[in-house]
């Protein structure tokens, strides 16, 4: 990484003057939890500052002739992380920009739409550097990273100068923290090398207990669930052996539901960020996401939905009157075409990429493998115009529809309030509405979390725990849709560089030449990066990856188990997938594959 690119945080002017009133703050009127919240943060921030100083000292003491010095640095990193987990809920909600100095992902973050980026920094990057093959060579960068954390942590008191917050904000911060813990904490998202995620989650829940102390006596169910969840985490601290399925179903999700009930009863609900539906009981509720934050509306107009479905199957939308959307997204094949790459209308210019399932396509912030369309309506227009796909002139398509009375009447009914009910915009909108509706969430796993404990078999249950644990699959395929929507805000779709191979021959791997998102957004970090797709219905939508290189899930698992392209010996400078082999046994890979089968929805119908 290029340390010169690290963007140090700009702290308030005259910080020294601020520090003299170190914990000065203003309490908003009638806020029951404010004092307790600030007290908890103050204690955590003070301890984190001490821990970050100890971390810096341990890195200063790194000596290649003293192996114990490396272990001490790792020990101090773990201590710093535990202390940061005591304040992460507060920092990520109230001071998100400042929080990025401490625990952001260990990869460069591109700031779109600007051609700017921030290099990896913070404790996750320190972990990566400490666990490399030659960690002592990284001492200068490690010192720079640790010094940034240490100096920033020393200034944490200044954040409370004239700080105010309401109970509503406090509750929203805790709501989001629960999602963060269930999707990131127990999966090892930010502690992949250290494997401390279970213990860190216990620490974070203990802090939630403290913050909610002004209310927990009034809500004994919530109090009991908090205690039980913390006890279960403490009793089962081993990252690779932890039973996440049991924790979520018996403790985590009921706790989330009880918290939501408390917030509603107290009338303390606000929704200032995130794409989550706060009325949903928990992470795996069918209503956890609604279409409005993604589509711009919730699907309530049945006439629009039916019209979009009719258009989806209509070859009038193609230039040669022979193709429809369903040509490459066939319902009997879970809205794929089961080909490595789709057939092109122009044999001289083949389509380079695989047609992914349309299930859950509406719940993401980027369309196409390279994310070149942000909205479904943009994706639909692009496909209709594309010479290799539909090769149509939208104006001609519109004129065809205008000559068909059935369509004229259907558009008038669907868009009765529009001054132009039959238009290109309404055509794109209707198809997008239909595609966005393809999100049933009725798999065996969904039924399990609804309370049917027999919905998943033993192998699928083991596979869930491996997928969300040792296999690190859930650190890129985030719950509940297991796609690239980044929790807890779900406001961004992630791109990853896997070091993809051109074929399934992993013994003699050949690098895939597709530049991925770089071809659309030419930042070098995006070279070979692609949108993380959902793995729901993966068991029935082979072949896999953007180039359709893998014919079955076992080939795919072998690729990941090896550490992607770099793990196989290729040279991908911008691979974001860890090149460290996962160490999964054959039986463990088969269990993960079994779990993927538990993500299969009922067969779609036309």
What pLDDT digit, counting tens, does each position of 52-99 carry?
999 999 999 999 999 999 999 999 999 999 999 999 999 999 999 999
Kindly state the average pLDDT of the residues 98-125.
Answer: 83
Mean pLDDT, the chain, rounded, equals 93
Task: Give the whole-angstrom CA distance, residue 539 versus residue 482.
Answer: 13
pLDDT of residue 28: 52
The share of the chain scoring above pLDDT 90, in percent, equals 90
Q: Is the peptide bond before 543 cis (omega within 30 degrees of 0)?
A: yes
- List Cα–Cα distances, 310 to 197, 326, 396, in angstroms: 48, 11, 18
Could you tell me where the DSSP H helices lie in 86-219?
Answer: 88-94, 96-99, 123-130, 139-154, 167-180, 197-211, 213-216
The backbone torsions φ and ψ at residue 49, rounded to the nearest 5 degrees and listed phi first, read: -60, -45
pLDDT of residue 30: 60
Domain regions of the chain by residue span: 1-165, 167-273, 293-436, 444-597
Kindly state the average pLDDT of the residues 327-335.
Answer: 97
Of 539, 553, 545, 538, nearest in space to 577 by CA: 545
Kindly state the average pLDDT of the residues 443-463.
Answer: 98
Task: Give the whole-angstrom CA distance, residue 437 versus residue 359.
Answer: 8
CATH of 293-436, one of 1.10.599.10, 1.10.760.10, 1.20.140.10, 1.20.1050.10: 1.10.760.10
What topology does CATH give the domain 444-597?
Answer: Cytochrome Bc1 Complex; Chain D, domain 2 (1.10.760)
pLDDT of residue 19: 38
pLDDT, tens digit, 9 for 90 and up, residues 541-559: 999 999 999 999 999 999 9
Of 80-84, 113-117, 416-420, 452-456, minimum mean pLDDT range: 113-117
Kindly state the average pLDDT of the residues 396-414.
Answer: 97
pLDDT of residue 35: 95
pLDDT, tens digit, 9 for 90 and up, residues 173-188: 999 999 999 999 999 9
- List Cα–Cα distances, 92 to 47, 109, 170, 596, in angstroms: 18, 17, 12, 32
Kindly state the average pLDDT of the residues 269-293.
Answer: 95
pLDDT of residue 4: 34
Of 28-42, 44-58, 273-287, 545-559, minimum mean pLDDT range: 28-42
pLDDT of residue 143: 97
Q: Are 67 and 114 in contact (CB under 8 A)?
A: no
Give the bridge partners for 373, in sequence order. 367
pLDDT of residue 112: 77
Please indicate, yes or no, whether the overall pTM of this predicted structure exceeds 0.85: yes
Q: Are 108 and 117 in contact (CB under 8 A)?
A: yes
Residues 6 or more apart in contact with residue 311 via CB below 8 angstroms: 317, 325, 427, 430, 431, 434
pLDDT of residue 16: 39
Residues 6 or more apart in contact with residue 187 via CB below 8 angstroms: 197, 244, 468, 469, 472, 474, 475
Residue 14 has pLDDT above 80, yes or no: no
Kindly state the average pLDDT of the residues 322-348.
Answer: 95
Kindly state the average pLDDT of the residues 527-535.
Answer: 97
Of 29-33, 128-132, 336-340, 345-349, minimum mean pLDDT range: 29-33
Give the bridge partners for 25, in sequence order. 163
Task: Give the whole-angstrom CA distance, residue 154 versus residue 167.
Answer: 27
Task: Give the whole-angstrom CA distance, residue 179 versus residue 435.
Answer: 27
444-597 matches 293-436 in CATH topology: yes
Q: Are 101 and 148 in contact (CB under 8 A)?
A: yes
Of 3-17, 29-43, 372-386, minimum mean pLDDT range: 3-17
Kindly state the average pLDDT of the residues 433-449.
Answer: 97
């Amino acid at each position: 990484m290029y340390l010169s690119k690290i963007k140090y945080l700009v702290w308030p002017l005259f910080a020294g003057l601020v520090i003299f009133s170190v914990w000065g703050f203003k309490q908003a009127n009638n806020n029951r939890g404010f004092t307790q919240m600030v007290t908890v943060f103050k204690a955590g921030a003070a301890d984190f500052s001490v821990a970050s100083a100890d971390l810096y000292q341990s890195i200063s003491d790194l000596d290649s002739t003293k192996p114990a010095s490396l272990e001490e640095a790792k020990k101090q990193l773990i201590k710093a992380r535990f202390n940061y987990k005591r304040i992460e809920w507060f920092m990520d909600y109230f001071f998100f920009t400042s929080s990025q100095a401490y625990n952001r992902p260990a990869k460069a973050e591109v700031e779109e739409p600007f051609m700017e980026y921030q290099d990896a920094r913070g404790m996750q990057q320190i972990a990566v550097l400490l666990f490399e093959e030659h960690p002592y060579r990284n001492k200068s960068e490690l010192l720079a990273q640790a010094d940034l954390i240490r100096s920033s942590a020393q200034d944490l008191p200044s954040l409370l100068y004239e700080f105010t917050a309401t109970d509503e904000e406090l509750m929203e911060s805790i709501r989001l923290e629960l999602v963060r813990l269930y999707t990131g904490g127990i999966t090892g998202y930010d502690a992949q090398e250290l494997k401390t995620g279970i213990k860190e989650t216990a620490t974070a829940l203990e802090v939630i207990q403290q913050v909610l102390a002004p209310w927990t006596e009034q809500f004994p169910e919530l109090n009991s669930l908090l205690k039980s969840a913390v006890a279960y985490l403490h009793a089962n601290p081993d990252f690779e052996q932890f039973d996440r399925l049991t924790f979520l179903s018996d403790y985590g999700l009921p706790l989330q539901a009880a918290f939501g009930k408390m917030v509603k009863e107290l009338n303390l609900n606000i929704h200032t960020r995130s794409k989550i539906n706060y009325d949903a009981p928990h992470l795996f509720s069918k209503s956890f996401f609604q279409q409005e934050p993604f589509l711009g509306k919730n699907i309530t107009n049945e006439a629009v939905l039916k019209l979009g479905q009719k258009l989806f199957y209509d070859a009038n939308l193609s230039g040669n009157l022979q193709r429809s959307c369903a040509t490459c997204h066939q319902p009997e094949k879970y809205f794929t075409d089961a080909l490595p790459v789709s057939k092109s209308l122009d044999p001289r210019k083949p389509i380079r990429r695989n047609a992914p399932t349309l299930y859950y396509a509406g719940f993401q912030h980027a369309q196409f493998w390279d994310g070149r369309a942000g909205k479904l309506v943009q994706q639909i227009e692009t496909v209709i115009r594309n010479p290799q796909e539909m090769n149509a002139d939208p104006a001609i398509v519109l004129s065809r529809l205008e000559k068909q009375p059935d369509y004229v009447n259907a558009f008038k009914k669907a868009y009765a309030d529009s001054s132009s009910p039959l238009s290109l915009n309404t055509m794109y909108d209707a198809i997008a509405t239909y595609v966005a509706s393809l999100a049933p969430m009725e798999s065996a796993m969904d039924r399990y979390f609804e309370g049917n404990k027999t919905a998943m078999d033993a192998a699928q249950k083991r596979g869930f725990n491996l997928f969300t644990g040792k296999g690190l699959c859930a650190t890129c395929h985030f719950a509940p849709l297991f796609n690239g929507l980044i929790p807890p805000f779900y406001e961004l779709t992630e791109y990853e560089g896997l070091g993809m191979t051109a074929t399934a021959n992993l013994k003699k791997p050949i690098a895939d030449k597709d530049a991925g998102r770089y071809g659309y957004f030419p930042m070098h970090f995006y070279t070979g990066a692609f949108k993380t797709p959902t793995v729901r219905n993966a068991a029935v939508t082979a072949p896999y990856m953007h180039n359709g290189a893998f014919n079955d899930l076992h080939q795919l698992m072998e690729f990941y188990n090896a550490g992607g392209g770099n793990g196989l010996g290729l040279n991908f400078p911008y691979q974001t997938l860890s090149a460290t082999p996962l160490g999964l046994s054959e039986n463990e890979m088969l269990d993960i594959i079994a779990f993927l089968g538990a993500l299969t929805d009922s067969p779609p119908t036309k």
